[in-house]
Amino acid sequence: MNANGQTAGPGRGSPGLTQLLLVRHGESQGNLAATLAHQAGAHVIQVPARDADVELSDTGREQALALGRLLAGFPEESRAVVWSSPYIRARQTAELAVTTGGWQTPVLIDERLRDRELGILDMLTSLGVEARLPEEAERRRWLGKFYYRPPGGESWADVVLRVRSLLWDLDLRHPGQKVMLVCHDAVILLIRYVLEGLTESELLDIAATSTILNASVSRFVRPEGTGPWQLESFNMADHLMSEGVPVTQHSGDANVHPR
């Protein structure tokens, strides 16, 4: 895969994936806790478990079921191989959707789809970082979202490395097939970065103006399995709205550009 997001598949001239569906997990208990903490001006987010073990909220489960009913409308020949982040909120979303949709396929797990690791900033709100780790807050502003790496955590650039590795492996494993990835908002944005060959500035402009909705679907297509990917739809939640299921958005820090 080159810098413009183009790839010739697993071997020179051989096809790779033809379609990628990118799904953010349904609303999680951690999403709710983070939003409440920000609204209250708290420094610490009272999450119910470590990040990998945070489950869906009741609304998140409704969203996953609605996603499954969308999947049920896919004809047999157009159904995709399903991969998920190992984090429970993503696995629950994938499993509920696949079961509800009647897809006879296992949910495959890959740790490269996990959410960005926050290290020392884990469980802190933006106010909490400013109050407790002012030097880190300043360093984050100076470097911007893409290159800032919190101690013990990952930058977005770090996540891009595992995203590139994953996409290459999927091309090798599923030539000529469609794949659905159930993962996290940052991972979806960074897959866009790789497949579209975006610059740092272009990516951060998207991140500053777009919140990836819970249980939303984005679609990339490449019918021949070679050449550039085309973004067919982004951040779609029509399947939730049409059923009266709440559409939820839980965004992080909007100050993403370097100062």
pLDDT tens digits along 162-185: 999 999 999 999 999 999 999 999
Rounded distance, CA 151 to CA 119, Å? 6
| Residue 73 is assigned to a structural domain of this protein | yes
Low-confidence ranges of the chain (pLDDT < 50): 1-4, 6-8, 12
DSSP tally for the chain: helices H, then strands E: 9, 6
pLDDT score recorded for residue 9: 52
Give the count of domains, the chain. Answer: 1
Least Cα distance to 110 among 39, 187, 202 occurs for 187
Beta bridge partners of 180: 21, 82
Rounded distance, CA 27 to CA 249, Å? 8
Rounded distance, CA 221 to CA 205, Å? 23
pLDDT score recorded for residue 255: 82
- CATH number of the domain that residue 99 is part of: 3.40.50.1240
Q: Which domain holds residue 164?
A: 19-241
| Residue 88 is assigned to a structural domain of this protein | yes
CB of 201 closer than 8 Å to CB of 51: no
CB of 115 closer than 8 Å to CB of 153: no
